[in-house]
Amino acid sequence: AGGGRLLDKIRKWYYNAAGFNKLGLMRDDTLHEDEDVKEALKRLPEHLYNARVFRIKRALDLSLKHQILPKDQWVKYEEDHPYLEPYLKEVIRERHEREAWNRK
């Protein structure tokens, strides 16, 4: 149990050290947009997609101004949920199925 707490502290430290949360971004907002991610984004419900676009636009604006959000507005490690992950997993699974089918 002690090792798990240490690992969790390291994860939280790394999360904060990355800095994207200080701009109001979530981890999934920072994924490289390859074909799988682009397809997963198309499948996002509108409210999740709009929230993502808002966070990215706000982060770009802050970055241009060389500013960060006030600390109380930073995305906390515990609040960052992988909103894109279920859609991305589905896209990847479908791609693997398609590739396997085409190999037959």
> Tell me: the pLDDT tens digits for 92-102?
999 999 999 99
Number of domains comprising the chain: 1
What pLDDT, on a 0 to 100 scale, did the predictor assign at position 4?
Answer: 83
| Sign of the alpha-carbon torsion through 68, 69, 70, 73 | negative
Provide the token pair at 37.
Answer: 């991610």
What pLDDT, on a 0 to 100 scale, did the predictor assign at position 64?
Answer: 98
What pLDDT, on a 0 to 100 scale, did the predictor assign at position 3?
Answer: 72
| Phi, psi for 27 (deg, rounded to 5) | -55, -45
Give residue-wise pLDDT tens across range 27-55.
999 999 999 999 999 999 999 999 999 99
C-beta separation of 76 from 21 below 8 A: yes
β strands within the chain, DSSP E: none
Q: What is the domain range of residue 72?
A: 2-103
> What is the CATH number for 38?
1.10.1090.10
Provide the token pair at 79.
Answer: 């609040």
| Phi, psi for 67 (deg, rounded to 5) | -125, 165
